[in-house]
Amino acid sequence: MKIMHTSDWHLGKRLGEFSRLEEQKEVLDEICSISDLEKVQMVLIAGDLFDSYNPSVEAMELFYQTLKRLSDEGKRAVIAIAGNHDMPERIEAPNPLAKECGIILSGLPHSIASPFYLSSGLRITDSGPGWVQLKIPQVEVPVNLLLTPYANEFRMRTYLGSENQDETLREILSNKWHRNLHEIANNQSVNILIAHLYMISNEGEPLEEPLDEEKPILTPGGASAVFTRQLPLDLHYVALGHLHRRHTLDGCAFPVVYCGSPLSYSFSEAFQNKSVEIIEALPNLTTKHYSIGLTKGKRLVRKKFDSPEEAFQWLPHHTDCLLEMTLHTDMYLNAEITNHFHRLHPGIVQIIPEFPEESNLKEKEEIAPDPTGEIMELFKDYFRSIKQVPPDEETLDIFREIIANEGDNQ
């Protein structure tokens, strides 16, 4: 059977003041087209479906429209789990309607999917807390899915009924996976784990969470890392979500894959290639998998300029990206200059001034101001301490005008 693995859609995400919704529409349309071209029979979406607990109406509409299209009128199974950015109850709320399209939404680790039987032949043949068994049209063997949406350590212990305080979260999950798979798997089934968590190889270097992650998993009270050695040996594939860069973990006889996000959502991801994962799995055979690159969405570019003049030359010829620009300057960037930058390039997310080393050294010097000094010199010292550069003439003129007005009012 053929499966597609995607994750970390973060619908409703913004980058600075820029909405990414139109780009998300384009890349999800591309994902739907790939599912048709590759003739996949099941789609796995491994968490962080939305970017916030309370997504916009537009983000929710895009999500439901995309799931319906992926389901192909109930001929293709679609399974989506909640990530740490998602509200579990919100994810599961549409389940009564979703199952009529062959869509399974799992928000909580102990949720039980209610059975359905569609005219296409797609059906749930059995289910329990955190697992489901599917019959896929034109696939002779059953498919067993272990579903592990995100939950922090306290909730995971509560949901899974662990009373042993000495038992770690990774042990709780490992015991659950082994127990469930032992009950439902046999040598004539395809067994898959879909999870939104932080997993590392037994001997490998730890992976880095997204640098701009507002809701990291690896925090006190969050969820600790899980090792690949704790996975059941009878699995054929592990579909992971949370990390935005595609990565395959070592240490298992079956693929363990973070497929990554479909768009670059921060400038730390600026040079990452985005993709979906295609899996071909059958009982008693080695699972094959490969990635298909995604081409939609704007490029994220970090660019350094040595002068405003260099920026003025470059900006109007590269307006097809979202830009973080660093400008080497020894002058204060007033509103006139920054507005001109934005007129030349409508996709500037951030302008970072980089001052000469002399300014940085002056910043670090702790020189007490002379309270008896002339007011203009005091203002220059204050401005320099805040902005790391001396004020320009326009700023000084404004300050002189303020002083003059104050004098007239006295």
Residue 387: count of CB within 10 angstroms of its CB:
17
Question: Residue 211 pLDDT more than 60?
Answer: no
In angstroms, the CA 136 to CA 189 distance is 12
The string of pLDDT tens digits covering residues 275-318 is 999 999 999 899 999 999 999 999 999 999 998 889 999 999 99
In angstroms, the CA 57 to CA 346 distance is 26
Question: Residue 221 pLDDT more than 50?
Answer: no
User: Residue 313 in contact with residue 372, Cβ under 8 Å?
Assistant: no
Domains along the chain with CATH numbers: 2-293 (3.60.21.10), 300-409 (no CATH)
Sequence-ordered list of residues with C-beta below 8 angstroms from that of 159, at least 6 positions apart, any chain: 108, 109, 110, 151
Band of the pLDDT at 249, cuts 50, 70, 90? very high
Band of the pLDDT at 208, cuts 50, 70, 90? low
Strand partners, 328: 354
Mean pLDDT value across the chain:
86
User: Residue 9 in contact with residue 32, Cβ under 8 Å?
Assistant: no
Band of the pLDDT at 391, cuts 50, 70, 90? confident
Global pTM reads 0.83
Structure tokens at 112: 């039980």
- Give the sheet arrangement for strand 299-305, strand by strand: 299-305, 321-328, 348-354
Band of the pLDDT at 159, cuts 50, 70, 90? low
Where does residue 203 rank: exposed (0-12), middle (13-18), buried (19+ CB within 10 A)?
exposed
Q: Half-sphere exposure of residue 401, counting CA atoms within 13 Å on the CB side?
A: 6
Task: Please tell me the predicted confidence (pLDDT) of residue 217.
Answer: 55
Which is more confident, 298 or 337? 298
74-83, 337-346, 376-385, range with the lowest pLDDT: 376-385
